């Protein structure tokens, strides 16, 4: 409009420019009125629907889709602004697209939550315009909805599918040779390549004049408990997620794999007190109970009470079980304060302590040292790494199994260890 006003000023001195300005202004006003009439001639030029899953999976890519339908006879250019939950901290999210008259269109985008809880989606704001783009109309759609974010059930289903199809090696799970078996006899069958020659039944072989082997049932219905420390050390972040959320996701996966292996899965969560205790079962509803229990678990930044854990396990778990303890010891001295309770647990059960490498420190070790401060910093980092290795060595001295792993490899490492312990006949 400033340009038009300038042309009018110049038009007082140049009549041709004055006439041109008037014609241009009339054309502009006429085009704007037509644009306005076309855009506002229909009350509902667009139908729109946001399709969100009933629940989102924490730490995974979740697909959200927006379905558009152009109800008018005009082609539109669109800008869609979805009011995403505040947890994603996305303030510049918009979708620019084009839809022809009478057509439908589906647009998909992805969200990756990093915390569990309720996520509230707000309105959908759509700005439409025609080719000229002189007038923009805003449409607001009240599509507010609240969606819960659960522990990673997508990861759980992924490993479940691989386990059912015997393709766990594709996810990095090692194929472990069984070192021993139970004495629970199942049947005598013909020898095939790969069978253990130590199981050959020589009497049956003599009768049938071909190699026959004894087949044994795997030991089943063992109890596998995931013990999750929700103390302050588990609040440490890694790639947007806390160590507690990594432990929760891994516990869900391990519990499901254990049940597929015909074992019974249970759960204990604790910090300064016991927060939840689910007895080990293998019923159809057990995974749902575990999922619902893990959904609500939050750290309260307190010190974990391992004495309370030992007392609870002694009182509630009578049968020898596999206890998978997810915790995070940063210093050798912090582990030694709890070692007496860990030793007591390992006397009655098979204890597996899972804790984490501080991968954020690796970048420091790879950097070139230029100053005295760099040398001090690298020395501290080396000390921290040494402390972690010392903890593993100390636990091994007392016969306690352990896993020191990076957070992103937690599920794979834990499943591998579980399968290894089963193959060795320790559970």
User: What would the mean pLDDT of 342-365 be, rounded to a whole number?
Assistant: 88
Is pLDDT larger for residue 17 or for residue 270?
Answer: 270
**Residues 332-355: b if buried by 16+ CB within 10 A, e if exposed:** eeebeebbebbebbbebbbbbbbb
Q: What is the DSSP letter of 9?
A: H
The set of residues, in sequence order, having a beta carbon less than 8 Å from that of 408 and lying 6+ positions away, is 238, 239, 246
**Mean pLDDT over all residues of the chain?**
84
Lowest-confidence range among 5-19, 125-139, 349-363?
5-19
Taking the CA atoms of residue 310, residue 313, residue 319 and residue 321 in that order, the dihedral angle to the nearest 10 degrees is -80
For residue 287, pLDDT over 90 is answered with yes
Average pLDDT of the segment spanning 128-135: 77
Task: Answer positive or negative: Cα dihedral of 410, 413, 416, 420.
Answer: negative
DSSP-assigned states of every residue in 95-156: EEEEE-TT-EEEEEEEE---S-EEEEE--EEEEEE-SS-S--EEEEE---EEEEEES-HHHH
pLDDT mean over 305-310? 96
Query: Per-residue DSSP letters for 291-315?
Result: HHHHHT----SPPP-HHHHHHHHHH
Confidence at 398, pLDDT banded by 50, 70, 90:
very high
Q: Which band of pLDDT confidence, cut at 50, 70 and 90, is reported for residue 9? A: low
* Rg for the chain, CA atoms, rounded: 32
List the one residue out of 185, 191, 256 whose CA is nearest residue 224: 256
Q: What is the pTM of this model?
A: 0.79
Q: Mean of the pLDDT values across residues 238-257?
A: 93
User: What phi and psi, each to the nearest 5 degrees, are found at residue 191?
Assistant: -70, 135
Q: Is the pLDDT of residue 10 over 60?
A: no
Highest average pLDDT, of 16-20, 92-96, 374-378, 412-416, comes from 412-416
- pLDDT band of residue 166 (cuts 50, 70, 90) is low
Question: What's the gap between Cα 371 and its chain centre?
Answer: 40
Mean pLDDT across 294-303? 85
What pLDDT does residue 351 have? 97
Domains and CATH numbers, the chain: 46-150 (2.60.40.10), 153-177+218-423 (3.40.50.410), 185-216 (no CATH)
Using the predicted structure, report yes or no on whether residue 5 has a pLDDT greater than 80. no
The residues, ordered by sequence, that sit 6+ positions from 264 with a Cβ below 8 Å of its Cβ are 221, 222, 223, 224, 258, 280, 281, 282, 286
89 versus 135: the higher-pLDDT residue is 89
Identify the H or E element spanning 373.
helix 372-397
Residue 1 has pLDDT above 70, yes or no: no
With contact defined as beta carbons under 8 Å apart, do 81 and 94 qualify?
yes
Of 141, 121, 142, give the one whose Cα is nearest residue 62: 121
Region of poorest pLDDT, from 94-103, 159-168, 204-213, 283-292: 159-168
Query: Taking the CA of residue 186 as centre, how many other CA atoms within 13 Å lie in the half-sphere pointing to its CB?
Result: 10
Lowest model confidence (mean pLDDT) among 183-197, 255-269, 375-389, 407-421: 183-197
Q: Work out the burial of residue 322: count CB atoms within 10 Å of its CB; fewer than 13 is exposed, 13-18 middle, 19 or more buried.
A: buried
pLDDT digits (tens, 9 = 90+) for 20-65: 566 667 766 766 666 666 667 778 888 999 999 999 999 999 999 9
The pLDDT value recorded for residue 191 is 83
CB 325 within 8 A of CB 352: yes
CA distance 318 to 300: 29
Q: How far apart are the C-alpha atoms of 22 and 374, rounded to whole Å?
A: 72
Average pLDDT over residues 257-273: 93
Among 117, 358, 405, 154, residue whose Cα is nearest residue 237: 358
Distance CA(196)–CA(215), nearest Å, equals 10
Share above pLDDT 70 across residues of the chain, in percent, rounded to a whole number: 84
Give 209's DSSP letter: T
pLDDT of residue 200: 87
Asked whether 309 and 272 are in contact (CB, 8 A), the reply is: no
More reliable by pLDDT, 26 or 385? 385
């Amino acid at each position: 409009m400033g340009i038009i006003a300038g042309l009018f000023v110049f038009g007082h001195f140049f009549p041709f420019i004055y006439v041109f300005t008037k014609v241009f202004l009339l054309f502009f006003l006429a085009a704007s009125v037509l644009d306005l009439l076309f855009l506002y001639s229909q009350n509902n030029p667009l139908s729109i629907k946001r399709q969100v899953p009933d629940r989102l999976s924490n730490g995974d890519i979740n697909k959200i889709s927006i379905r558009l339908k152009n109800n008018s006879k005009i082609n539109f250019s669109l800008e869609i602004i979805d009011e995403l939950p505040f947890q994603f901290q996305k303030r510049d999210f918009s979708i620019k697209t084009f839809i022809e008259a009478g057509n439908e269109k589906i647009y998909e985008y992805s969200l990756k939550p990093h915390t569990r809880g309720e996520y509230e989606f707000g309105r959908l704001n759509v700005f439409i315009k025609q080719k000229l783009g002189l007038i923009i109309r805003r449409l607001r759609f009240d599509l507010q909805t609240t969606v819960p974010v659960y522990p990673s059930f997508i990861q759980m289903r992924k490993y479940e599918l691989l386990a059912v199809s015997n393709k766990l090696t594709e996810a990095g799970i090692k194929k472990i040779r069984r070192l021993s078996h139970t004495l629970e006899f199942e049947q005598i069958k013909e020898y095939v390549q790969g069978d253990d020659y130590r199981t050959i039944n020589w009497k049956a072989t003599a009768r049938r004049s071909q190699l026959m082997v004894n087949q044994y049932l795997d030991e089943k219905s063992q109890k596998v408990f995931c013990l999750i420390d929700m103390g302050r050390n588990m609040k440490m972040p890694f790639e947007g997620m806390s160590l507690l959320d990594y432990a929760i996701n891994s516990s869900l996966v391990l519990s499901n794999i254990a049940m597929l292996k015909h074992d019974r899965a249970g759960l204990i969560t604790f910090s300064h007190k016991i927060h939840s205790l689910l007895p080990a079962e293998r019923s159809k509803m057990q995974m749902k109970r575990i999922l619902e229990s893990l959904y609500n678990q939050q750290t309260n930044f307190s010190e974990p009470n391992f004495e309370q854990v030992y007392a609870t396990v002694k009182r509630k778990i009578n049968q020898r079980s596999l206890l998978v303890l997810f915790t995070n010891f940063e210093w050798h001295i912090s582990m030694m304060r709890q070692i007496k309770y860990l030793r007591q647990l390992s006397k009655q059960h098979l204890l597996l302590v899972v804790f984490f490498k501080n991968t954020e420190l690796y970048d420091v070790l790879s950097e070139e040292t230029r100053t005295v401060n760099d040398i001090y910093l690298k020395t501290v980092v080396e000390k921290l790494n040494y402390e972690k290795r010392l903890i593993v060595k100390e636990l091994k001295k007392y016969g306690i199994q352990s896993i020191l792993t990076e957070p992103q490899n937690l599920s794979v490492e834990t499943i591998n260890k579980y399968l290894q312990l089963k193959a060795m006949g320790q559970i």
